[in-house]
Amino acid sequence: MSELGKYAPLTYFQLMEVSLRELLVEKGVVSNAEVDAVAADMKSRGPERGARVVARAWTDPAYKKRLLADGTAACEELGLDVPALRLVVVENTPEVHNVIVCTLCSCYPRMLLGLPPDWYKSSNYRKRVVREPRAVLAEFGTRIPDSVTIRVHDSTADMRYMVLPMRPAGTEGWSEERLAGIVTRDSMVGVALAQAS
Amino acid sequence: MVEAKFQPGDRVKVMKAYPLGHIRTPYYIRGCSGVVERICGAFPNPEELAQMRSGLPAQPLYRVRFAQADVWPDYRGGRGDTIDVEIFQHWLDRE
């Protein structure tokens, strides 16, 4: 709600959410405090968790190997709790570029990247990135040469995906913390590349 | 748990079927052929879960890799471009 108190009618889905929530509270299934706590927890998580994982993989080849073999276990190693998440990490290389989508809804590795951006949930992105990934990536400013294979990953069921971007040139000798600072959300979805500056 | 029928590397074809309900097999991939990339494990069948049933026995779930040129006849891009989709075993036939 805007602080100016501007009135806007609830959308269909907002109304449905409010109605369902109020019913659940009224019937004692959940309390308002519980709903608030979960919402606050979701909002507090951001892509810096995923960035920590990427920075570790960039600096520790043995960790990277474990991450690609079992993403969930490798996150737990860093103390990142990833409940209900079977994480598959896909690695970008000079030959292969990966990009993630959920065409059926908006499955997203929230435990590592936080809430998905609106464009990820839009039907435009979901419909188009599977059939013209190069054009969609170009709209994000990411031009992938034809010589590089593009792999699209559609999260249709129980797995969640995260892209391990390529470590940019010019970051030799950087600390893990400094590296984590250049790992963006979009680079972990695969619509952008990690950049040194 | 239903036993896994396919192994990584096996060629499979997605059933071209249009049942009603909560189906996690996208329309665009039905009828397409690809290669099993990995076995993801076994999970309760989402089509049954959506009907408030147990979804058991758990169904093997695969990641199947398809060539984009096979999925979209008008695909423009590298010949090697692929799309991976998670598909439950009961939607797959051996090719």
What is the per-residue pLDDT across A27-41, written as a single tens digit (0 to 9) for each? Answer: 999 999 999 998 898
- Work out the average pLDDT over A154-182: 96
Reported pTM:
0.91
Identify whether B3 is part of a domain.
Answer: no
**Closest-CA residue of chain A to B77:** A146
Helix H segments across chain B? Answer: 46-49, 68-71
- Work out the average pLDDT over B2-6: 95
Q: Which residues of B touch A153 (CB under 8 A)?
A: 83-84
Annotated active-site residue A75? The verdict is no
Identify whether B34 is part of a domain.
Answer: yes
Decide if A146 touches B, using CB distance below 8 A: yes
Q: CATH no. for residue B71?
A: 2.30.30.50
Confidence of residue A1 (pLDDT cuts 50, 70, 90): very low
Q: State residue A8's pLDDT score.
A: 81
Q: State residue A78's pLDDT score.
A: 94
**Reduced to 3 states, what is the DSSP secondary structure of residue A114?**
coil
Identify whether B82 is part of a domain.
Answer: yes
Q: Is A110 exposed, middle or buried (0-12, 13-18, 19+ CB in 10 A)?
A: middle
Tally of domains within chain B: 1
Confidence of residue A6 (pLDDT cuts 50, 70, 90): confident
- Work out the average pLDDT over A69-92: 90
pLDDT digits (tens, 9 = 90+) for A130-156: 999 999 999 999 999 999 999 999 999
Q: Count of CB atoms within 10 A of residue B67's CB?
A: 17
Q: State residue A84's pLDDT score.
A: 63
Give the domain extent around B45: 11-94
Confidence of residue A166 (pLDDT cuts 50, 70, 90): very high
Decide if A123 touches B, using CB distance below 8 A: no
Question: Is 80 exceeded by the pLDDT of residue B91?
Answer: yes
Residue B57, min C-alpha distance to chain A (Å): 16
Residues A166, A193 contacting (CB under 8 angstroms): yes
**Choice among A2, A31, A44, A105 that is catalytic:** A105
- Work out the average pLDDT over B1-9: 95
Identify whether B81 is part of a domain.
Answer: yes
Phi-psi region of A165 (alpha: psi -120 to 50; beta: other; left: phi over 0): beta
